[in-house]
């Protein structure tokens, strides 16, 4: 009986043949088709669920079929950039918190632990001087490039007074790799005039590296040295903004507004964290960006006249006998004001595109007149 059953099974198996000589392509096609059906069905279910929950579908411009942006749970908050004040010299390059300064032929590197007279430093030296250099005269105006950690010298909030009008101006250059350089209007002027002189000097903030770059050299040397500076490719993230903000300041068009209202602070932080359209490395500088100087053709102003937003965590004095307070931590956000190519950059990391009128919206929210 067992042999009869086996014979019948063998006979049935001989009649089974694949429909194609190689069935693998058909299997793959069927798997792809099934995956597409699953994706399509999932999308329909998600859309119906979103509509049922009252989610708003926002059309985001463009021609032809308009893409739809579905509100979703916010992605995890980005972390501040890691910063360690330990420079490295690797393959003839000074590396400092993601900033890379190649040593040109004939240049050397030196670290200075304490304040030292400028004239003591040899010509053609990249100096790491965290405590700064003394003035020391011109010493025959020798070439020098200095790194220090006082990048917020022109951006510290204690310089501001609510309602005060002053001309600061925040302009941004984006280095290869994505690192920003910030210059006030005075420094842009120094570069323009200095590159037309026999000797030039200037100072630029590198907020992501927590450093300030100061240079003194001939225009020809400056053109070569400055344009060689670049950054380690920076992470593409949303704006990094801190928790525990106690004060917010915004300087727009020369006027500073200030608020400590918890409801206002909450709205400002939420608006900043809600900006999720991150700037990609190849998107800056935008077309039409202006060259600062013909001698620096690679240095383009990716943003000009940005509003300066300062998010401050104040550190109250532990002594009840005094009301003196100090800044525990400050994050500065450059807020673009241009009609086109408008973006924001946080000093703690992250760069995002802005909707039209964002700076004016914040200004009114914090207490400025519309």
Give the integer Cα–Cα distance in Å for 199 and 185: 20
DSSP assignment letter at 207: G
Give the integer Cα–Cα distance in Å for 130 and 214: 12
Other beta carbons less than 10 A from residue 100's beta carbon: 20
Residue 346, burial from CB neighbour count under 10 angstroms (0-12, 13-18, 19+) = buried
Q: What is the pLDDT of residue 369?
A: 76
Give the integer Cα–Cα distance in Å for 353 and 359: 12
- R_g over Cα of the chain: 29
Q: What is the pLDDT of residue 318?
A: 59
CB 107 within 8 A of CB 228: no
Bridge partners of 230, per DSSP, are 100
Handedness of CA 129, 135, 136, 138 (dihedral sign): positive
Q: Cα-flanking dihedrals φ and ψ of residue 4, to 5°?
A: -65, -40
From residue 10, alpha-carbon distances to 1, 2, 209 in Å are 15, 13, 75
Give the integer Cα–Cα distance in Å for 343 and 164: 25
The helix/strand/coil state of 185 is: helix
Helix (H) or strand (E) holding 69: strand 68-70
| Helices assigned H by DSSP within 110-168 | none
From residue 340, alpha-carbon distances to 188, 272, 348 in Å are 21, 19, 24
Q: How confident is the prediction along the chain (370 residues), in pLDDT tens digits per residue? A: 444 444 444 444 444 444 333 433 333 333 333 333 333 333 333 333 333 333 333 333 333 333 334 444 557 889 888 877 678 899 999 999 999 999 999 999 998 877 777 788 889 999 987 666 665 566 777 888 988 887 876 666 545 554 444 456 789 999 999 999 999 888 999 999 999 999 898 889 999 999 999 898 999 999 999 999 999 998 999 999 999 999 999 999 888 899 999 999 999 999 999 999 999 999 999 999 999 999 999 999 999 999 999 999 987 655 555 555 677 889 999 999 998 899 999 999 999 999 999 999 999 999 877 6
How far, rounded to the nearest angstrom, does the alpha carbon of residue 170 sit from its chain's CA centroid?
Answer: 14
DSSP assignment letter at 281: G
CB 148 within 8 A of CB 278: no
| Helices assigned H by DSSP within 109-208 | 185-194
Handedness of CA 236, 284, 269, 207 (dihedral sign): positive
Q: Give Dmax (Cα) for the chain.
A: 113
Phi-psi region of 233 (alpha: psi -120 to 50; beta: other; left: phi over 0): beta
Helix (H) or strand (E) holding 265: helix 262-273
Q: Cα-flanking dihedrals φ and ψ of residue 186, to 5°?
A: -65, -40
Give the integer Cα–Cα distance in Å for 222 and 18: 74
Count how many residues are written for the chain: 370
Give the integer Cα–Cα distance in Å for 192 and 137: 23
pTM: 0.75
Residue 20, burial from CB neighbour count under 10 angstroms (0-12, 13-18, 19+) = exposed
> Which residues touch 63 (CB under 8 Å, ≥6 apart)?
none
Give the integer Cα–Cα distance in Å for 300 and 296: 8
């Amino acid at each position: 009986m067992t042999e009869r059953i086996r014979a019948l099974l063998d006979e049935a198996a001989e009649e089974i043949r694949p429909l194609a000589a190689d069935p693998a392509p058909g299997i793959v096609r069927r798997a792809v088709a099934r995956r597409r059906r699953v994706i399509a069905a999932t999308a329909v279910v998600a859309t119906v669920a979103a509509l049922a929950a009252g989610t708003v579908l926002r059309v985001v411009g463009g021609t032809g079929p308009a893409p739809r942006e579905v509100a979703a749970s916010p992605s995890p908050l980005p972390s501040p950039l890691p910063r360690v004040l330990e420079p490295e010299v690797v393959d003839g390059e000074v590396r400092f918190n993601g900033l890379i300064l190649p040593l040109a032929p004939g240049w050397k590197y030196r670290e200075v632990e304490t304040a030292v007279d400028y004239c003591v430093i040899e010509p053609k030296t990249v100096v790491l001087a965290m405590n700064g250099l003394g003035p020391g005269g011109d010493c025959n105006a020798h070439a020098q490039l200095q790194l220090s950690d006082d990048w917020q010298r022109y951006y510290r909030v204690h310089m501001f007074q609510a309602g005060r009008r002053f001309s600061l101006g925040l302009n941004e250059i984006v280095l290869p790799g994505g690192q920003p350089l910030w210059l006030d209007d005075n420094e842009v002027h120094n570069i323009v005039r200095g590159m037309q002189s026999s000797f030039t000097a200037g100072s630029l903030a590198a907020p992501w590296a927590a450093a300030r770059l100061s240079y003194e050299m001939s225009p020809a040397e400056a053109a070569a040295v400055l344009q060689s500076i670049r950054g380690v490719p920076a992470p593409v993230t949303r704006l990094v903004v801190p928790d525990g903000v106690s004060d917010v300041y915004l300087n727009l068009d020369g006027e500073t507004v200030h608020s400590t209202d918890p409801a206002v602070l909450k709205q400002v932080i939420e608006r900043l964290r809600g900006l999720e359209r991150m700037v990609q490395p190849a998107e800056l500088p935008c077309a039409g960006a202006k060259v600062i100087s013909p001698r620096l053709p690679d240095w383009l102003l990716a943003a000009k006249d940005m509003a300066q937003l300062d998010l401050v965590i104040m550190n109250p004095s532990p002594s009840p006998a005094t009301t003196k307070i100090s800044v525990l931590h400050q994050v500065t956000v450059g807020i673009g004001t241009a009609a086109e190519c408008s973006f924001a950059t946080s000093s703690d990391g992250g760069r995002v595109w802005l909707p039209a009128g964002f700076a004016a919206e914040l200004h009114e929210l914090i207490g400025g007149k519309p």
